[in-house]
Structures are given as structure tokens and as C-alpha cells.
């Protein structure tokens, strides 16, 4: 729902409140930030425009550095009990039936030697459950920020609309953190424009059913076709599939129609040909306009941007969630004390950017190399699969696969929970949560209902 279609009493009286910190956007960055700040005694409010976290697919990967963080925060065992799959490596096909391991997470130091595959809505529900007992934590759902409040060049808070009632609210605080994602309204209103990098491909997401007994994958491997790539993630009762093609091909794919699209999918994955008819129309094939960008400056007086709002990542390596979480940890570590004392300055905000900018630049540089070496040539139909030098390295230098594994799973500067936020707790990553088929179906139905609701507005 856009601000245009808010309930009719949107002009109702403005209600004004004040907090230590406002967080715009309840994604991985915003919720993690608020959780840690609240543990540091900060009175923090998260404003999230959606009613719940059950909406479009936005990635499943919880990386090793985030799993370690869960342990440090004292809820590793509860996290491990959530239904999840575990990814042990990332492989590339050689085209002759053989594969080469590009990233072997098993080479990392245990127990943080895997990536947990868990739907983002489950992760967010879980984090909110952990944060709710903290006295300073407050999350308001259906709270859509519509305007930044400013005074003498400094951001002093936000105006938001309660989408359930239409009531307008003003919330003021010494600091507003924008974690409102890659289409950030706050960023736009603050007049900050990210630098864009070229991306050669777009992604289309859709689902195919997964039948009882079909194997769980402990590795992720794309399939290369002529000018196209496909990658499937295993969900409980379905496959979540990403189809990659040259940027801008959306109009052509839609003009070709659903039957041609089904043929493309079946051609690349003959093992799924028996179910391509379940994609009813191209409306079920969702375009992700892939972006790779970053802000030069992540702050202004009274305002800090983190996560996708500061830097949108390419899907290569599936690092967006992890990077957003790491930004949040760094921000909370630096800002909790000055926020509590009411002394936060621009120097504190600059320090957060100084800490998180280098890992962002490194990962985006690696993503651009992967785009140039693998994705670009593949979607342009010039080559299917990785370049020869990469194959030779991966095959003859086994230790090579440890480097991408480390970069993907931990990142160049993994963050640790600050001492004030740590809690004792058992670590549980050796005993993954199992759910019954019925529980899985129920969760998938909830997810589908969420997506339908999101599509409906």
C-alpha cells in the first residue's frame, strides 16, 4: 500500500512522542540494531510499514558470522531449534557432469562452518521475540514513515502514519537510523544519492512444488543455459527458484509468455519439467531489478543510514542480510552509550561509517569481479560456467575454496556482540531444528498468505 491509499482519516491530529533513537524499517538491520541498543539501555522504537514479516521472498541465508552473534547474544540454542537447512558449500558445474567447489564452508573453523537457510520472516519474528522483553525495545507495525523532521539542518525525527487507523504521529529523537532498504524514502528525503555500479543481469523469482522425499541440498549449485542461469533454494514444500538473464529482458520474457518460460525452465532443469505447469502465469514470476550501489556518506546530523539503505548488494554470494546485520552490530556498539547519555555526535556516526565502509567496498568489489567473470559472460551467452583459471585454482589448489567461503560466510570484518549485550546461553548449532511435514506445510501456507496479502497491496 502506498501513502496515497492510506485510510481516509490520514489528516487526523498529530500525536507527538520522544525516544532516544528511531529506527525506520524492521528488516534484519533495523531489528538487530534495536535489539542491541535496547540491551544497552536505549529507548528505541522501530517503525515498520508492513503488518507482519510475511511478505515477498527476500532471501534465506543466515551466515556464520550472524550465527556466532546469536550465540554471543545468548540465544544460539533457540535459533538452532528453528526449522532450517544447512549449506555446506557452493559449487559450480563444469558442463561435463562434473562440478567444482567454489566455496567450501567446511574449511572454516567449527562450529561456524555452515550457512543456515531460514526464511527471512522466521528470522525477523525470532529476533523480535528475543528483543521484546527488553524494557527499551518498542516495535510499531503498520507504521509508515512519510516525512523526515528537520531543524537547523539536523534531522530531529520522523512523521509516520499508522496504516491501520490513518492517525498521523510525530516521533522525535536525537538520532534517526534509516534501515528502510534499497528503495529508502529516508535517503531520498535526506537528499543522499548512492553511487550506482553496472550490473549485467536481473533476477526473476518463482516457486515450484517440492514433493515428499525430494532431497535436501547441502550445497548450492547454479545451472547454466544459453544466456541464462538458474539457481534453486530448497524450502520445506517448494523450491524457490532464481532465474538470471541479461538486464532489461523483463519485457521480452513477458512478451514471450508463460509457455515459453516453462520451456526455458524445463530445458535447464529437466528434473523439474513435471511441475512447470504449476506456474500459472507470468504474474507468478517476480522481477528483481538487481542493483549494486553505495552511499559515499552514510550520515547527516541526526541521521545514520545502514544496511541496504546505505549499500544495495548484488545477489552474488547472498550477502545482503549478513552485511545489514553486521552494520547494525557496529552501529549499536558505537552508539549505545552516547545515545543513552544523550550525547551522540556526528563523530560517532562517522565512526560507524568508517568501520563498515571498507567491508562493503571489498564485498562489492568481489561481486563485481564475479559479475565480470561468471554472471556477465553467462547471461550474454558468451560462456557458460566459470573461467578456466578459476576452475584450475579450485581443482588444483584445494585451499582456494576456503577464501571465498570465508568471504561469504564471515565477511571481511565480522562483528561481535558488544559486552553490554552479551548474555550467557547454550550454543545449539550442532542440533538443527526439525519440523514435521505438517508444520512445514502450515508455515508455507502462512508465507503464501503473506505474499498474497503483499501482492494485494
Ligand X SMILES: Cc1cc2nc3c(=O)[nH]c(=O)nc-3n(C[C@H](O)[C@H](O)[C@H](O)COP(=O)(O)OP(=O)(O)OC[C@H]3O[C@@H](n4cnc5c(N)ncnc54)[C@H](O)[C@@H]3O)c2cc1C
- Binding residues (CB under 6 A) for ligand X: these are 24-30, 47-50, 57-61, 144-145, 179-181, 185, 205, 288, 307-309, 313, 315, 318-322, 324
Minimum CB distance to ligand X, residue 16 (Å): 18
Cβ contact 117:61 at 8 Å: yes
φ, ψ at 138 (rounded to 5°): -145, 125
Minimum CB distance to ligand X, residue 83 (Å): 17
Minimum CB distance to ligand X, residue 357 (Å): 15
Distances (CA, A) of 170 to 19, 149, 156, 167: 11, 8, 10, 10
* Residue with Cβ nearer ligand X (12 or 141): 141
Half-sphere exposure of 160 (CA within 13 A, CB side): 27
Cβ contact 178:309 at 8 Å: yes
- Return d(Cα 284, Cα 279) in angstroms, integer: 7
Angle between helix axes 28-39 and 120-131 (nearest 10 degrees) is 20
Distances (CA, A) of 261 to 222, 223, 252, 377, 389: 18, 16, 11, 21, 33
Minimum CB distance to ligand X, residue 286 (Å): 7
- Return d(Cα 292, Cα 297) in angstroms, integer: 16
Minimum CB distance to ligand X, residue 292 (Å): 11
* Residue with Cβ nearer ligand X (272 or 313): 313
The radius of gyration of the chain from alpha carbons, rounded to an integer in Å, stands at 22
* Residue with Cβ nearer ligand X (14 or 392): 14
* Residue with Cβ nearer ligand X (42 or 46): 46
- Return d(Cα 107, Cα 113) in angstroms, integer: 7
Cell numbers found for residue 168: 498521523
Cell numbers found for residue 124: 525477523
* Residue with Cβ nearer ligand X (38 or 313): 313
What is the full DSSP assignment across 323-371? HHHHHHHHHHHHHHHHHHHT---HHHHHHHHHHHHHHHHHHHHHHHHHI
* Residue with Cβ nearer ligand X (236 or 340): 236
Vertex 125: Cα angle to 121 and 78 (nearest 5): 115
Minimum CB distance to ligand X, residue 341 (Å): 26
Minimum CB distance to ligand X, residue 319 (Å): 5
* Residue with Cβ nearer ligand X (302 or 340): 302
Beta bridge mates, 243: 204, 230
Minimum CB distance to ligand X, residue 148 (Å): 10
Minimum CB distance to ligand X, residue 288 (Å): 5
Minimum CB distance to ligand X, residue 90 (Å): 12
* Residue with Cβ nearer ligand X (74 or 320): 320
Q: Give the residue carrying C-alpha cell 503483499.
A: 454
CB atoms within 10 A of CB 252: 11
Which helix (H) or strand (E) is 39 found in, with range? helix 28-39
* Residue with Cβ nearer ligand X (303 or 393): 303
The helices-and-strands tally (H runs, E runs) of the chain is 13, 23
Sheet with 115-117, side-by-side order of all strands: 61-62, 115-117, 85-87
* Residue with Cβ nearer ligand X (261 or 393): 261
* % helix, strand, coil for the chain, step of 5: 40, 25, 35
229-234 and 238-246: which strand pairing?
antiparallel
* Residue with Cβ nearer ligand X (36 or 393): 36
Minimum CB distance to ligand X, residue 242 (Å): 8
Ranges of H-type helices in 242-319: 250-256, 258-268
Cβ contact 408:90 at 8 Å: yes
Amino acid at each position: 500500500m502506498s501513502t496515497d491509499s492510506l485510510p481516509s482519516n490520514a489528516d487526523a491530529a498529530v500525536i507527538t512522542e520522544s525516544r532516544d533513537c528511531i529506527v525506520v524499517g524492521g528488516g534484519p538491520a533495523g531489528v538487530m540494531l534495536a535489539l542491541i541498543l535496547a540491551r544497552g539501555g536505549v529507548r528505541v522504537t522501530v517503525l515498520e510499514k508492513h503488518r507482519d514479516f510475511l511478505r515477498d521472498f527476500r532471501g534465506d541465508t543466515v551466515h556464520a558470522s550472524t550465527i556466532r552473534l546469536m550465540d554471543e547474544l545468548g540465544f544460539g540454542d533457540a535459533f538452532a531449534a528453528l526449522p532450517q537447512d544447512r549449506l555446506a558449500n557452493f559449487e559450480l558445474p563444469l558442463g561435463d557432469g562434473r562440478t567444482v567447489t567454489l566455496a567450501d564452508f567446511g574449511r572454516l573453523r567449527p562450529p561456524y562452518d555452515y550457512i543456515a537457510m531460514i526464511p527471512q520472516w522466521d528470522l525477523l519474528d525470532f529476533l523480535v521475540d528475543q528483543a521484546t522483553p527488553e524494557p527499551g525495545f518498542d516495535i510499531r507495525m503498520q507504521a509508515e514513515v512519510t516525512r523526515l523532521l528537520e531543524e537547523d539542518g539536523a534531522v530531529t525525527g520522523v512523521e509516520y502514519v499508522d496504516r491501520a487507523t490513518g492517525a498521523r504521529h510525530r516521533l522525535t529523537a536525537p538520532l534517526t537510523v534509516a534501515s528502510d532498504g534499497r528503495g529508502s524514502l529516508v535517503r531520498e528525503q535526506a537528499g543522499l544519492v548512492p553511487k550506482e555500479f553496472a550490473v549485467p543481469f536481473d533476477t526473476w523469482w518463482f516457486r515450484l512444488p517440492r514433493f515428499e522425499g525430494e532431497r535436501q541440498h547441502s550445497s548450492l549449485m547454479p545451472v547454466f543455459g544459453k544466456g541464462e542461469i538458474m539457481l534453486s533454494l530448497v524450502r520445506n514444500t517448494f523450491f524457490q527458484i532464481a532465474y538470471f538473464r541479461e538486464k532489461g529482458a523483463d519485457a521480452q520474457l513477458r512478451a514471450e509468455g508463460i509457455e515459453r518460460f516453462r520451456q526455458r525452465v524445463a530445458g535447464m532443469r529437466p528434473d523439474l519439467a513435471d511441475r512447470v505447469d504449476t506456474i500459472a502465469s507470468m504474474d507468478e514470476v517476480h522481477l528483481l531489478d538487481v542493483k549494486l550501489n553505495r552511499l559515499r556518506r552514510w550520515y547527516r546530523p541526526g541521521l545514520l543510514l545502514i544496511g541496504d539503505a546505505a549499500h544495495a548488494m548484488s545477489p552474488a554470494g547472498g550477502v545482503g542480510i549478513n552485511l545489514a546485520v553486521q552494520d547494525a552490530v557496529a552501529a549499536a556498539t558505537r552508539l549505545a552509550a552516547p545515545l543513552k547519555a544523550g550525547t551522540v555526535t556526528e563523530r560517532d556516526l562517522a565512526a560507524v561509517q568508517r568501520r563498515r565502509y571498507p567491508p562493503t567496498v571489498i564485498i562489492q568489489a568481489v561481486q563485481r569481479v564475479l559479475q565480470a567473470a561468471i554472471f556477465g559472460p553467462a547471461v550474454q551467452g558468451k560462456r557458460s560456467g566459470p573461467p578456466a583459471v578459476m576452475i584450475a585454482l579450485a581443482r588444483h589448489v584445494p585451499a582456494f575454496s576456503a577464501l571465498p567461503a570465508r568471504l561469504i560466510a564471515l565477511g571481511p570484518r565480522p562483528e561481535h556482540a558488544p559486552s553490554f549485550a552479551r548474555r550467557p546461553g547454550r550454543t545449539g548449532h550442532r542440533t538443527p531444528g526439525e519440523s514435521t511435514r505438517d508444520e512445514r506445510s502450515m508455515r508455507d501456507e502462512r508465507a503464501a498468505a503473506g505474499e498474497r496479502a503483499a501482492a494485494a497491496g
